[in-house]
Amino acid sequence: MNDKAKKDPLSVRSSKVAKAPAKSKTPIIPIGHSRLSDTIKQGERIYQLMVDAVRDYAIFMLDPNGHVASWNQGAQRIKGYTADEIIGQHFSVFYPAEGSSRSRLVRANSKRKESGCEKTAQFSGPA
């Protein structure tokens, strides 16, 4: 049985295992003051401008401990906090505490509405 690939001059298949190229030391060049460093910095600026321009979506970043590290205009519009107010705050501020008076009131009123009761409770405590 003839193997046409073996006879094809464009075939790169080899019957022997190719030897690894001789090891040459690759120079380590710091990029601190190079064009690559400038390109990366420019890309970061463009990315930040793009994220800041988004108004229809809340885009923010949390640090490993759950604190808000960045905040865009969409997040401000949707969540109501300015960047100065929220950066550094823990993300739990977005969620009411389960035991808070307001969340208990909301649950109680929804149960009353489901049961057909027209009377609802009013909240008079702190937000």
CATH of the domain at 84: 3.30.450.20
Q: Confirm whether 124 is domain-assigned.
A: no
Residue 23 in domain: no
Q: Which structural domain range is residue 73 located in?
A: 38-114
Q: What is the pLDDT of residues 69-112, one digit of tens each?
A: 999 999 999 999 999 999 999 988 888 766 555 566 666 667 66
Q: What is the pLDDT of residue 123?
A: 46
Rounded to whole angstroms, how far apart are CA atoms 106 and 7? Answer: 80
| CA dist., res. 65 & res. 83, Å (int) | 18
DSSP string, 7-41: H-TT----SSPPPPPPP-PPP----TTSHHHHHHH
Q: Is residue 71 one of the residues assigned to a domain? A: yes
Q: What average pLDDT does the chain have? A: 74
Work out the percent of the chain whose per-residue pLDDT is above 70: 51
Predicted pLDDT at 74: 93
Give me the percent of the chain exceeding a pLDDT of 90: 24
Residue 82 is which amino acid?
T
126: in domain: no
Q: Is residue 1 part of a domain?
A: no
Does this model's pTM top 0.85? no
* Structural domains counted in the chain: 1
Cα atoms in the Cβ-side hemisphere of radius 13 Å centred on 125:
7
> Could you tell me if residue 81 is inside a domain?
yes
> Does residue 106 belong to any structural domain of this protein?
yes
| Residue 19 located in a structural domain | no
